[in-house]
Every structure is written in structure tokens, then in C-alpha cells.
Structure 1
Amino acid sequence: MKNTEIEYLINLRADKRLCLIEYLIKQKDKSLDQSRAAILSRAIENVELGTTNWDVLYTKLQALKQPEGEDVPQFTSWQAKLNPKDKENYDKICKEMRQDLIEKGIIKRTLRAQLMVVLLLYRYLDALEREEVMAAQKIEKEKRADKIISELELPVAQMGAILIEMLLTDKDSPALKEINQIMVQWLCRTRQKSGQEV
């Protein structure tokens, strides 16, 4: 039986902004499917209705510049197919975007399809960049925590208490196996020094 789902085709003239945004998304988006339809679908999924300040994104978009020394591919047309579910969500997003931009005085009445797609994709790029920053901050925080832990010295009494707690609560822990090996090595060394049999 044939699939009767109708796909909706978005067909636009591309400008430099659209070329640049697509180029930057493809650098930051780790998904395997880098087709325009897949990127647009993820951009749509990424929007939570009622939470985006489209006017703020529009203002940020004006400051978008091509990275120095990078050759951004230029194209004159841009096409992507939307499945019915994405098309329904896309329509809701565009309605909200238009209303927000009219209320903030950025547009008068109409919102061109090209600007809708540019803003939607720019919002996705912005989300990817924020995720990248958060991931880098998390790694840095973990490094700092690891450094603090590695430099931390526990008092002997606390070491003993922790060892007893580990033995009682997590006796199959790999850490206990390491501690066991360290204790065996220490025992061997001290007995050899004192001339005792191991």
C-alpha cells in the first residue's frame, strides 16, 4: 500500500544570511542527517511555543557575521520538504513569530516566508551554540572538581571511616579492589624491609 502522506515543499530564494546560517548549523549539529528537511524538522522540534522572543532573535540576527577566513558556500535557492506534523507545527510557529514581530513593531503586517525560515533556523543555531557553551562549562566544572578532589588529603581517621563504610555498603566496588592491591603491595614492601616472610 502506498504512503499517501502529502509532503509540503518550502521553496525560497536564498540570501547570504540563509547560506551562512545553514553553514554554521552544519558545523555545530552533530546529527547524521544533514539534509535541509532534517535540519528544518529539528529546528521546528526545538521550538517551544510561547517561549521564544522572536524580536530578540531578529535583533541578534542583524549582528550575524561570516567567520573570518572561512569560505561559506553560496546558493540561490533553498528547498525543504515538511511532513504533515512538522507542517502543522511550522504554521503555529510562523503565526506566533508574526504576531510577536508585529507587537514589537518590527514588521507591519506580512512576514515573508524567507524571513520566517531564516529566523527559525537562526533560533536553532542559537540553541546549538548555547548547548555547546553549556557542554564546555560542564567539562570545565568537572575538571575543576577532579582537581580539587585529587588535591584533597583526608585525615587518617576519616580514611579509616570511609574504608569501613565502603566495606559495609559497596564491597564489590572496583575502588575496593584497587585499595586491596595497594594494601597488598604495601604489606609486601614493609615485610620485605623488616625481613619477614610475605
Structure 2
Amino acid sequence: MLKHQERTRAAYDGVVELYASMFADRLETRPLTRNMIATFAELVRDTGNPRTADVGCGPGHLTALLRDLGLDAFGLDLSPAMVAHARRAHPELRFDEARMEALPVGDGALGGVLAHYSTIHTPPAELPALLAEQARVLAPGGLLLVSFFGTEDPEPIRFDHKVTPAYSWPVTRFTDLLAEAGLTTTARLLHDPASPRGFLDAHVLARRPPVT
């Protein structure tokens, strides 16, 4: 049986152009999401370390937005076809293939990590290790902004995402996992769904505690 990462890679490799065309301008109609990312960028700049990874960057549109917001941003994605598209679309930026469970970044190197709906395909049993890896690469005081499908049910829900199976999460359960990874949640934004699935759009901002 294929591991979920291999299934996810193959699925996204097959929809690159469609995905890129659907999401390139999506934030223009999502002011809450757009402003949460802008807040994240401002707080990362305030740390003095603007180096930021867009993990699960897809076609690179949010990596470019982070650059425009003053961050030294680069993109990482599991899908080689997505990385190739991002390099063509944004040749001035760096994009590399990588798994979120094994980021090619040194310990404590980054001021920020953006995970915009890129953790949604990770099975619940594997999510703690993924979040721990994102915490590992953050410098003390660094920030993680993770966005995902939220649910008011008490347990994660597996559903048929248009590309490959995904999971929605109770926000409190998700923030508990962030705490286990050593991160402190500083803000949560939940808003009405933009899709007919009925899940909430959830954005959680968390910080690696500074050294005292």
C-alpha cells in the first residue's frame, strides 16, 4: 500500500495547472485569511528574523505574498510538479522539494513557518511528529501560522477532498498538539466556511517561546 505522502504527491502532480489557476487570486475574496497572513508577517518581521518557510507551498502564490509583505520567504512542497510550476511562476524565489516531516532546515533557523492548508492530508496519528518538525526549525520567539479545516465535532473527521483524502480538526485538539510540540498558541481565527462541506476555516497562530 502506498504511503499517504506518495498518494498525495501523485495526486497534486496531476492537478498542477488547474490548482494554480483556481488559487492564484483566491485571497482577493478572503479578507479574513489575507489579514491573518499579514498579521503573521508583521509579527515575524518584529522578531528580527524574516527567514520564513512556506511549507506545502503549492504553486508559490503565498510564498510570493510573504515576500511582498517583507519576509525572506522560500517555498517547500512534496510535489515536484508544483515546485517546477512555482519556479517558473516566481523565478526570483527559491522553491525545493521536501516532506513536511523532514524539513531541509537547521534547528532554530527560521523566524516563521506558514502551513496554509498543507497539513490537512496528514493522518491524525502522524500529525504530532509533523508539528514537532515545524517547531524544531523555528528560532525562539519564531511563529507558526497553520490553517486547516475546523470542525465542532470532538474528533478529527476524514473526508473526500477534491484532490486526495483529508482531515478536519477540532481546534482545541489541534492547539493541544501544538502545545505538545512546544508551541504556545497566541491567536485563533474561525470563520464560516467558503465551501459546501460545512467545515469552518481555522487559522491558528503559535509561537516558540523565547529563551528566558
TM-score (norm 1): 0.28
Query: Which one scores higher on RCO, CA 8 angstroms, separation ≥ 6?
Result: 1
Higher strand share: 2
Higher helix share: 1
Q: Bigger radius of gyration, 1 or 2?
A: 1
